[in-house]
Structures are given as structure tokens and as C-alpha cells.
Amino acid sequence: MQPAEIKIRDANTGDAAAIVAIYNHYITNTTVSFETEEIDAPQMQSRISDILQANLPYLVAEDSNGNITGYAYATKWRARFAYRFSVEVSVYLAPGATGAGIGSMLYRQLFARLKQRGIHAVIAGIALPNDASIALHKKFAMTQVAEFKQVGFKFNQWLDVGYWQVLL
């Protein structure tokens, strides 16, 4: 899959089934997500709606056949009003879409939209180890600011989480 065949567009609740298909892979097969039970399209529709209602971007990567190959979004970092200029970002790619530059395409547009909205701090949590995700976040000038040891437990193992940050 060539990045030229990919377009980045705003997500909508009609994309929920395709997004769930990508996300559930990470729930059931990896430690990337700390969720342990698969979710369904109505749950994802609610999550997408919450993000859009908060006036934050939710983007999908779509190939020339109309298939969603990845997605990225921002959520509020914390609920308190003083945190209103800080967000947490996430990106997920379909298993067959990794390594093709799609994550970078999604983040490039996501970060541009966050900057347009006046967001100041962008934060990303990464379950460790995850060399590919770390490389992507470093590509966007994010630096590691924290590491929490053994804060997650999945697949009968304790997991660490690192946090990366960049100021826009």
C-alpha cells in the first residue's frame, strides 16, 4: 500500500465498524491497548461522538477502495479547566497497513489541526516495549517525559507505560 493511495479525512460515527475491526485486533492480540474485552460498533460510535463533541479531531486513513486502514484522534488530557490546552493522542493502523507511512500521514494532519485549535501540549502514552510507536512519536519531536513501571496487567504480565510529549 502506497501512501499516495491514502487520503486522510474526518471520521464520523458511520466509520465505527471499520475502526472497531482495527482496534479489536489490538485488544485481543497485543498489549498496545490495555482494554481486555472487545468492543462493538455502538460503543465506538459513542467514543467518536464524544471526541467530536469536544471539538477535537478524529481522523481516518482511507485507501482508494474506501477501506479504512488506520485512525488517529485526540482526547482531553484531564477534565479540569486549566488542562484545556492539553490533549492525549492515539493512532492505530490495520495490521496490514503498518510500515507504509500511514501513521505519519495521520499524525501530520492531526497535529496541524490541534495547532489550529490552539492546543499547546500533546501527550501520548505508549505501552512498553513498542519500538515502532516510539519511533513514530519521536518523528514528531515528542520526547519521553515519564515511565510508569508495572501499571498494567494483561496476558499474565505486568506492563510499563511511557509518556511522550511535545509542545506545539
Residue ranges of the domains in the chain? Answer: 3-167
Rounded to whole angstroms, how far apart are CA atoms 159 and 165? 20
Report the alpha-carbon angle 32-13-101, nearest 5: 45
In this predicted structure, the answer to whether residue 1 has a pLDDT above a threshold of 90 is: no
Where helices occur in 63-156 by DSSP H, the ranges are: 102-116, 131-139
Task: Check residue 145 and give its pLDDT.
Answer: 98
Phi and psi angles of residue 134, each rounded to the nearest 5 degrees, phi first? -60, -45
Length of the chain: 168
Task: Check residue 85 and give its pLDDT.
Answer: 98
Q: What is the mean pLDDT of the chain?
A: 96
Mean pLDDT to the nearest integer, 113-127: 98
Rounded to whole angstroms, how far apart are CA atoms 162 and 148? 6
The pLDDT tens digits of the residues spanning 6-57 come to 999 999 999 999 999 999 999 999 999 999 999 999 999 999 999 999 999 9
User: In degrees to the nearest 10, what's the CA dihedral of 6, 73, 95, 65?
Assistant: -30
Mean pLDDT to the nearest integer, 78-92: 97
In this predicted structure, the answer to whether residue 2 has a pLDDT above a threshold of 80 is: no
pLDDT bin (cut points 50, 70, 90) of residue 3 is: low
Mean pLDDT to the nearest integer, 103-121: 98
Which listed CATH number (3.40.50.970, 3.40.50.720, 3.40.50.10300, 3.40.630.30) goes with 3-167? 3.40.630.30
In this predicted structure, the answer to whether residue 71 has a pLDDT above a threshold of 90 is: yes
